[in-house]
Chains A and B, each alone.
Chain A
Amino acid sequence: MSSVTDQSDQVTLREGLRVLARAIRDEPAIFAVAVAGSAVYGVMTGLAAVVIGRITDDVIVPAFQQGQTTTSALALAALAIIAVSTLKAAGIVVRRYYAGVMQYRLQASYRRQVTRRYLGLPLSWHHQHPTGVLLSNANADVEASWYPIAPFPMAIGVFFMLAFAIVSMVLTDAALAAVGLLVFPAILLINLLYQRRLSPLATRAQALKGELSGIAHESFDGALVVKALGREADETARFGAAARELRDANVAVGRVRGAFDPVLEALPSFGVLAVLLVGSARIAAGTLDPGAVVSVAYLLMVVAFPVRAIGWVLGELPRAAVGWRRVERVLRVSGALPYGDAALPDATDPADVRVREVSFAYVDDRDVLHGLTLDVAPGRTVAVVGPTGSGKSSLAGLLVRLVDPRTGEVLVDGVDVRRLARGEVAESAALVFQQAFVFEDSVRENVALGRLVSDEEVWAALRLAQADRFVRALPDGLDAVIGERGATLSGGQRQRLALARALVRRPRLLIMDDATSAVDPEVERRILAGLRDAELPATVVVVAYRRATIILADDVVYIEHGRIVGRGTHDELMTSVDGYRNLLTAYERDAAERAALWADEDDDLLTGEEVAR
């Protein structure tokens, strides 16, 4: 398990501020609107206190002292209060709405950018990064990066409010202003302290939450194994320990929060009491009106709470900076898979494939293919056979340029596939994977994948892949949605759908990488017979173990440890290559040897049982 407080996750304030700066650069107009709204809100918040103070001095106190007042004075007072609060409300609406607009626009923009990189980067890059990390870069990390944007305009508005408050206090009375000026820095300081204490704890709680979720995911995904081996109690203990750790982390967060919140609330209260003390003395000395005291006290009360917004932003910055770091790492990766501008002939006849001295490695200098050379003449069907891990799938991937060779070249119709323009290879060649990926979409879209093909063509491809029957049985036929939130298909059904996906494109080069491994033998036989009878105008490369598949090929390439050990017809290889013969006859030899041994064992068993009785 990865350690929760990774050293590399420590970030500086500057890094966080840079994230904010980028947000402003990206969305300057919207930010300006949000800040304008926030400024109105800030000033009006301060003004509300001043208005109350003025009303106290000019309307309320005289009324009480003189025992009378005028309707116009009262009306004016009421109007002033309502006007200020309406403006303040308008400021809040603009501030909050545009802060949201900005936050969500940034999220969307960076999600698009990150996924654009995913789609552009070579698969070798994908192979080096765990799926979970890539998904979280595009989702959680993007979200975390722009989280502080929500309170950001308010925090800026608070500065306006503070400026207003300080100026109006100073104008009211210098001594009272001094008291207020002490309270604001104290609030800010406490806030900073608070966020500094809180953010590592909050980050840790967040990480533990992820860890707990990881355990639940893994445990539920492996439920069959957990149950089959009766490990529920151990799994619960594992989950329980993580849950308790998260509990302690949450309590630690709560402790800090629980300490600082009351302090932050008490500070302005003390400020108000101080103002009352100092104010009464000055009123007694005759140098101040009661209204001034009320105004400053009121100002302290209303300004104290919003000041925390600055803390909210600062508190979110570390998390944002970490998220941004991860997002940026993806955006910064150089080396999108380069394409050339060559095109393949717009022909319908089978492709010519040549593999020249190709070495290939997933990880540096651990070659899985060693200087492999292989020609497949147009229209031929070649079977690639070899033990598990011999490099068959790597070869299949190289043919359609899923990956590039470390040395050597792959030529289709005489052109190095690296020189072909984007989409050119896919236009002519189709690879069917063993692990069939299903898009969460209709059956039709899963087969067509955006291509303009008629329903007849889709049905024809499904028929050839022996998938038409089960598709017809789905409630909506071609329109039935499959995938996570749709109908569930079995492994064999997925494979047949993936095969139809390749066939509908009428490829000139068809590569099947153990693509019917989960299909029943009888169905596979029908698929292969159909493919043979269809007389596809295609060069076919098929990776297989099953002999029925292999004997359909014109010739067979036998691979071991990333090298071609033999090539020829099935019969030729059976006589000339030991490894091939051993692999292909494993079952028969087994059956034969077994037949010889079997009778003896059986006798033993019977004897054993008799003894037991």
Chain B
Amino acid sequence: MTATDTSSVGHGTDSAVETIRRGLSYSPEIRAGLGLTLVLALVATAGRVVVPIAVQQTVDRGLLNPAGPDLGFVRWMCLAAGIAVLVTAGCAYLMNVRLFRASESGLATLRTIAFRHVHDLSVLTQNTERRGSLVSRVTSDVDTLSQFVQWAGLLFVVSLGQLIVATVIMAVYSWQLTVLVWICFLPLFVLLRFFQRRVSAAYGVVRERVGEMLGAISESVVGAEVVRAYSIEDRTQQRIDAAVDRHRRAATHAQRLVAMSFSTGEVVAGVANATVVVVGVLLGLAGELTLGALLAFLFLVTLFVGPVQVGTEVLNEAQNAVAGWRRVLGVLDTPADVADPGTAGVALPRGPIEVRFEQVSYAYPDGPTVLHRVDAQIPPRSRIAIVGETGSGKTTFAKLLTRLMDPVEGVVLVDGVDLRQIRFASLRDRVVMVPQEGFLFDDTMAANVRYGRPGASDEEVRLALTELGLADWLDGLLMGLDTPVGQRGESLSAGERQLVALARAYLADPDLLVLDEATSAVDPATEVRLARALEGITRGRTAVTIAHRLSTAEAADEVFVFDDGRLVERGRHTELVGAGGVYARLHAAWTTQAR
């Protein structure tokens, strides 16, 4: 089975402005109070020119006073400047805190919305290989944004403001020098843009290499047993070393570009300073500029270099942040293919469930059709066994039945209602599927069983296990119900995980129970015990079992036989086994296996 890449989620192609606009609409917290924050930012930025002005004033009106240095003036001026610096700092603090609080609140909301949405995407349950990238949508992509705001967002705004304010002040002192400074810095903008494109390309390569490296390293951990059993330590180490080295080279290359791009600003600043000195003196001689203004200018140029450098570095991160934002929005833009109708939907009363499939087809996005026009009825309280070879469409049928996916064509009716119109709250209450791989959460045994019915007491959990005939097994565990199951339940065996998964579903007390080879990893004796317990439990409910052994099919009220995506035979075991069709063939293979 080859998964198609196209079944992954959208990545979004909006422009940066559009991305920001739409991103803000998901995080209204960022906008709230933004006006005041910007006013504070304006004050904080403007405050940065206080010191250069103070230098100019001191020199021109204090020191070069024709009547000798005016110390009184200098004192008052420095006091005023000191107060201005304090106000600036206060505004900067307030602005920082407001910005952080607003943006972090907005991002927490965005994360949570995206997380919820991912659970509604069928990609999640169909394409296990793409899960990692979905995780990064709600973690690292949002973290990039948060980091950007924390480290750079403010810097960017302030830098931009500083550039503007410095330009204005410089123009007040001397428009000629201002034009010259801009002429010196303009090529830098162009140059930095050029560097920046190469830097982000280089970092793209680094990210790719990181992925490869992590994959290689994980072989030495996840594949440790195979590595040891086949004595391929040297080969594995070579692969790791090669991947580690490729990452090192890519990262070093990116670093070189960053270093070069950063230092060009320094050279340009030198040229600008030299120009200011030469032209400033000449302008001064022509009577166009005072000495203080020229000195202030030299300080103002330092205000210019910083923002340009910071601005370009930040611009890089800004691009990353916007790209991350775009990816998160891409997830939100991917339509929830299996959407909850919510309160607009129908709530079904409890009771035995009847299901009808009418001309149901299913195909993976851009993939082949895996289920063809299936018509089927599952009467209330019936026990149905589903059989067929791997890839025949059994699991697809089960997933459509439980609305883990929606059909491409046709309709699945539960008690006469289109499955898509039933409220999730009501549906999940009544219809529960136990998948083959019993996934457990990193918690205790009790918590995992209780996952089926939050609020169930320890006694109820224990009762559920007892009713399934698992009391002995439970008592044999080191800490009983409090036994931690480990990450993904890895402290338990595959068979034991299935037992917990079964108990979990049983505790949920559904009207329709769907078992997808839910006991395939336990030994035959235990499986038979479980099967019997289940039969007792499912009496009075509708039960659909994907069977991997004969006796399940023999015991069913009706057997559905799937072959190559079609429901080819249905009937009782006794009828089908003599019919000479697919079932008879499967039965023959089973018999030689088991007997």
Contact = CB atoms under 8 A, between A and B. Distances in A.
Contacts of A120: 233
A234 B454 contact: yes
B244 interface: yes
Nearest to B436: A491
B355 interface: no
Nearest to B108: A247
Interface stretch (B165-173, B258-266, B316-324, B461-469): B258-266
A259 to B, nearest CB: 6
B175 interface: no
A397 B278 CA distance: 82
- Top-4 shortest CB links A-B: A230-B428, A85-B270, A258-B96, A254-B100
Contact of B280 (A60, A236, A290): A60
A489 B266 contact: no
B369 interface: no
Given A301-B299, A388-B523, A488-B1, A112 B223 contact: no
A75 B139 CA distance: 56
A228 B432 contact: yes
Contact of B274 (A82, A485, A521): A82
Contacts of B221: 118, 126, 131, 134-135, 138
Contact residues on B (Cβ < 8 Å of other chain), bracket: 35 or more
24 contacts: A63-B285, A85-B267, A89-B267, A97-B255, A100-B255, A111-B217, A135-B218, A224-B404, A228-B505, A231-B451, A243-B108, A243-B115, A251-B97, A254-B97, A258-B96, A388-B495, A388-B522, A433-B225, A488-B2, A488-B3, A522-B586, A548-B593, A590-B532, A591-B550
A230 B127 CA distance: 19
A272 B51 contact: yes
A220 B118 contact: yes
Contacts of A213: 135, 139-140
Interface stretch (B12-20, B234-242, B560-568): B234-242
A568 B252 CA distance: 64
B86 A266 contact: yes
A283 B452 contact: no
A277 B63 CA distance: 11
A493 B427 CA distance: 34
Contact of A250 (B100, B128, B380): B100
B550 A74 contact: no
Interface string B416-429: 00000000110111
A483 B486 CA distance: 25
A547 B285 contact: no
Contact of A298 (B50, B299, B493, B557): B299
A366 to B, nearest CB: 9
Interface in A482-505: 483-485, 487-490, 492-493, 501, 505
A302 B301 CA distance: 12
A219 B124 CA distance: 10
B31 interface: no
A108 B281 contact: no
Given A55-B277, A430-B230, A387 B51 contact: no
B458 interface: no
Interface residues of A, number: 173
A232 B424 contact: yes
Interface in A423-446: 423, 425-427, 430-431, 433-434, 437, 439-440
Given A69-B285, A228-B428, A251-B101, A59 B51 contact: no
Nearest to B448: A225
Nearest to B235: A450
A269 interface: yes
Contacts of B78: 273-274, 276-277
Contacts of B129: 484-485, 488
B394 to A, nearest CB: 12
B391 interface: yes
A595 B555 CA distance: 8
Contact of A437 (B90, B223, B505): B223
A68 B565 CA distance: 96
B191 interface: no
B312 interface: no
B231 A422 contact: yes
A216 B135 contact: yes
A123 interface: yes
B181 interface: no
A185 interface: no
Interface string B84-128: 011011101101110111001101100110011011100011011
A258 B244 contact: no
B267 A86 contact: yes
Interface string A213-244: 11011111111111111111011100110011
Contact of B111 (A243, A274, A293, A475): A243
A474 interface: yes
A67 B236 CA distance: 77
A67 to B, nearest CB: 6
A436 B150 CA distance: 44
A104 interface: yes
Given A81-B270, A255-B96, 7 more contacts: A108-B247, A108-B248, A118-B224, A139-B217, A254-B101, A430-B230, A590-B531
Contacts of A591: 550-551, 554
Given A487-B2, A590-B528, A266 B215 contact: no
A532 interface: no
Contacts of A167: none
Contacts of B295: 56, 60, 294
B414 interface: no
Given A86-B267, A97-B259, A586-B524, A261 B92 contact: yes
Given A120-B233, A547-B593, A590-B531, A112 B501 contact: no
A209 interface: yes
A239 B81 CA distance: 49
Interface in A85-99: 85-86, 88-90, 92-93, 95-97
B343 interface: no
Nearest to B73: A280
A345 interface: no
B347 interface: no
B589 interface: yes
B413 interface: no
Interface string A184-205: 0000000000000000000000
Contacts of A105: 248
Contacts of B213: 111, 139
B439 A426 contact: no
A439 B522 contact: no
A582 B525 CA distance: 7
Interface stretch (B52-60, B193-201, B370-378): B52-60
A120 B236 CA distance: 11
A449 B227 CA distance: 9
A262 B118 CA distance: 40
A247 B100 CA distance: 9
Contacts of B234: 450
A535 interface: no
A594 B555 contact: yes
Given A63-B284, A96-B255, A583 B524 contact: yes
A229 B452 contact: yes
A273 B82 contact: yes
A97 B527 contact: no
Interface in B484-531: 486-488, 493-496, 501, 504-505, 508, 520-528, 531
A284 B429 CA distance: 88
A266 B281 contact: no
Contact of B51 (A228, A301, A595): A301
B182 interface: no
A309 interface: no
Interface in A575-612: 582-584, 586-591, 594-595, 598, 602, 605, 608-609
Interface in A35-65: 52, 55-56, 59-61, 63-64
A90 B263 contact: yes
